[in-house]
């Protein structure tokens, strides 16, 4: 249902019904969340099918469909290096800074 962008041939000629990834936003104010994927010949049908498949029980108010081939995923092999939260850059966190006693609203 995700991380599959490396697989060739999901979109394009020869595949009558390419794969689409589906994102649903549950309510206003929340972000779209990946809920799954489906096959459909074009974006309009993907949207309709996603409506039927993933929002039968009031799961959402907004749907995005994206051709799976358009997604590039990071590789788990590079997890450490790629997502290094920069332990050496602790100054990125507000808690790094000492606030003098008595300062309000900071």
Which residues bind to another protein, rule: CB under 8 A? Answer: 1-4, 6-7, 13, 16-17, 19, 36-39, 41-42, 45, 52-53, 56-57, 73, 75-81, 83
Between 26 and 45, whose beta carbon lies closer to another protein?
45
24: nearest Cα among 51, 49, 60, 48: 60
CA–CA separation, 6 and 14 (whole Å): 18
**3-class SS of residue 83:** helix
Between 83 and 96, whose beta carbon lies closer to another protein?
83
Between 74 and 99, whose beta carbon lies closer to another protein?
74
Q: Which residues pair with 39 in a beta bridge?
A: 19
């Amino acid at each position: 249902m995700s991380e599959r962008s490396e697989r060739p041939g999901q979109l394009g000629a020869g595949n009558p019904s390419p794969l689409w990834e589906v994102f649903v936003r549950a309510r206003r104010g929340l972000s779209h969340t990946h809920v799954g994927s489906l096959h459909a010949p074009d974006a309009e049908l993907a949207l309709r099918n996603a409506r039927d498949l993933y929002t039968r029980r009031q799961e959402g108010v907004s749907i995005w469909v994206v051709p799976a081939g358009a997604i590039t995923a990071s590789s788990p092999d590079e997890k450490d290096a790629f997502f290094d939260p920069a332990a050496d850059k602790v100054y990125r966190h507000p808690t790094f800074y000492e606030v003098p006693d008595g300062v309000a609203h900071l």
